[in-house]
Amino acid sequence: MSRLLQRLFGRLPIGWLQLTHKRGRFAAALAGVAFANVLVFVQLGIMNAMATATLKPYSFFTADIMISAGNANALSEGGNVARQWMLQALADPAVAAGMGLFVGNVPWDRTDGDITFTTFGIDPGRPDFVAAGLTDGFASLQVQGTAIIDRLARGLPRDEAAAIRPQSPLSFEAQDRTLTALTTFAGGGGFGGDGFMLVSDQTFLSLFPARGSAAPDHILLRLHPGADVPAAITRLRSLISDESLRIRSYGDAAQEDLRYQQTQRPTGVIFGFGVLIGVLVGLVIVYQVLSADVADHLREYATFKAMGYGPRFFLGIVLEEALVLGLLGFLPGLVFGTAILALMGAVTTLPLAMTPAMAAMVFAGTVVFSVISGVIATRRLAAADPADLF
C-alpha cells in the first residue's frame, strides 16, 4: 500500500505512514467513519423506503390525470371529490374514461396481531385503470365482499398468503364484514399500513358505511391516446368550477405526495435530519482525528517547513489522510450498512435495501466531508513556526 501511494503521489506517503504508525488510533478512526457511514446509510435507506412506499400505490393504477380535494396532500389524506366533477370532466373531448378511487384503512383482527390494509375501492368494471399485474382475478371483485390482498403484507405469513387461490380462498372478518380473498398481488408494507387491498367501490362502501358513492377520495382520468395532458388539465380547470380542487397529471400527483411525505410530514423531516446528523458526525470524527494528528506532529511539520516544504505539501498530507480515512472507513460502513438495512427490511417488511445509487452517493459524500475536514484541520498547521524549533 505504501509503495502504491508513493507512486500515486510521487512522494513518500507521509499521511498513510502517520495514520498506520498508531494502529489502535487508526482502527478507532476507521470505526468512527464507518459508524457515521452506517448512520447515513440507515437514514437514507429509510428515506428511500419512504419514497418507495409512497410511490408504490400509484403503481397499482394507470391514469393520466388525478383530481383531488384541495387539502389532499397524499393519496390517503384529505377530503373527498364530488363524483359530478368526473362527469363534467368526461365532457372534455380528450378524456376517454374516468373512475372514482376510494381510499381507507381496514384493520384485519387476527389472533397473532392486526394487519392494517390500505384499501382501495375501485370500479370493478374498469380494469383499464388497473396496472397489468393486478388484473389477475380482477373480475372477481364484482362479487360483493371479494378482495385482492397484498401477499407481502406485514404480519401475513407467507405460506398463508401463498395458499390463497380461487380454489382455496381466504375469508376473514374486517369492519364487521366478511371479506373473501380469491387472489393476491405483490405490494409490501409501508409507513401508513401493513399492506394493500383492492375491493370494489361497493364493497368499500359496505366497509365504510359513513362514506357515500357520490364522493370518492380521488378521480382518475384516462385520456385518448396521443392527447396532450397539460392542455387537457388547463381545459379541465376552466371546465370544473370548483377552484379548490387539485387537478394534476398522475405523475405530478405522485411526486407531490412524495415531496409532502419527505418535507412536510414529521417522519420525513426526522429522517432528513438523520442524514444531516450522520454527515455532521462523520465530519466531526474525521476533523477530530486529523486535527489531533496535526497537533501531534506539529514539531515535525515545523521541521518540514524549515526545510522548505510549502503549504501545498502540508495540505497534501492532510488530504491524503482524509482520503485514506474516508475510503477505508467507507468499506466497513457499506458492509455493516447493507447488513443492517437487510435486517431492518426483514423485520419491518419495509422496502429497505442498499442500492448502488445510495452507495455511490454516500461514497461521494464521504470523500467530500473527509476533504472538508482535512482542509479545516490544516488551519492548525499555521501554528507550526519553524523559528521555534531552535
Partner 1 sequence: MEVGPGHDPIVEIHGLNHWFGTGEARKQALFDIDMTLPRGSLTVLMGPSGSGKTTVLTLAGCLRGVQDGSVRLMGHELHGAGAAQLTDLRRHLGFIFQAHNLHESLTALQNVIMGVQVRPGVPDALAQQAAARALGLVGLSDRMGYLPANLSGGQKQRVAVARAIVGNPALVLADEPTAALDKDSAGEVIDLLKRMGTARGTTTLLVTHDNRILDRADRVLMLEDGRLVSP
Bridge partner residues of 221 (DSSP)? 65, 98
Q: Rounded CA gap, 87 and 183, in Å?
A: 32
Judged by CB, which is closer to partner 1: 225, or 308?
Answer: 308
Does position 382 interact with partner 1 (CB under 8 A)? The reply is no
Does position 387 interact with partner 1 (CB under 8 A)? The reply is yes
CB 20 to partner 1: min, Å: 8
CB 295 to partner 1: min, Å: 14
Size of the site for partner 1 (CB under 8 A): 25
Does position 310 interact with partner 1 (CB under 8 A)? The reply is yes
Interface residue with partner 1, options 165, 237, 299, 379 (CB under 8 A): 299
Distance of CA 362 to the CA centre of its chain: 15
- The three-class DSSP label of residue 212 is coil
Interface residue with partner 1, options 132, 210, 307, 382 (CB under 8 A): 307
CB 390 to partner 1: min, Å: 4
Cβ–Cβ < 8 Å for 122, 198: yes
Cβ–Cβ < 8 Å for 314, 304: yes
- The three-class DSSP label of residue 33 is helix
Task: Name the strand (E) or helix (H) holding 222.
Answer: strand 218-223
Nearest Cα to Cα of residue 358 among 44, 119, 83:
44
Does position 389 interact with partner 1 (CB under 8 A)? The reply is yes
Q: What are the grid coordinates assigned to 360, written together? A: 455511490
Does position 390 interact with partner 1 (CB under 8 A)? The reply is yes
Q: Which of residues 107-146 bind partner 1 (CB under 8 A)?
A: none
CA-CA distances (angstroms) from residue 349 to 154, 183, 256, 345, 357? 6, 20, 25, 5, 21
Judged by CB, which is closer to partner 1: 44, or 302?
Answer: 302
Interface residue with partner 1, options 73, 202, 288, 303 (CB under 8 A): 303
Judged by CB, which is closer to partner 1: 332, or 386?
Answer: 386
CB 299 to partner 1: min, Å: 6
Judged by CB, which is closer to partner 1: 17, or 205?
Answer: 17
CB 285 to partner 1: min, Å: 21
Cβ–Cβ < 8 Å for 101, 211: no
DSSP code per residue over 310-378: -HHHHHHHHHHHHHHHHHHHHHHHHHHHHHHHHHHHHHH-S-----HHHHHHHHHHHHHHHHHHHHHHG
x-or-dash string of contact with partner 1, 4-33, rule CB under 8 A = --x---xxx-x--xx-xx------------
Cβ–Cβ < 8 Å for 233, 248: yes
Does position 160 interact with partner 1 (CB under 8 A)? The reply is no
CB 282 to partner 1: min, Å: 25
Does position 306 interact with partner 1 (CB under 8 A)? The reply is yes
Judged by CB, which is closer to partner 1: 65, or 302?
Answer: 302
Task: Name the strand (E) or helix (H) holding 23.
Answer: helix 23-55
Pairing of strands 177-185, 95-108: unpaired
Does position 180 interact with partner 1 (CB under 8 A)? The reply is no
Q: Which residue in this structure is represented by grid cell 505539501?
A: 313
CB 32 to partner 1: min, Å: 20
CB 301 to partner 1: min, Å: 9
Interface residue with partner 1, options 23, 308, 356, 382 (CB under 8 A): 308
Q: Rounded CA gap, 203 and 143, in Å?
A: 9
Does position 300 interact with partner 1 (CB under 8 A)? The reply is yes
Q: Which residues bind partner 1 (CB under 8 A)?
A: 6, 10-12, 14, 17-18, 20-21, 297, 299-300, 302-310, 386-387, 389-390
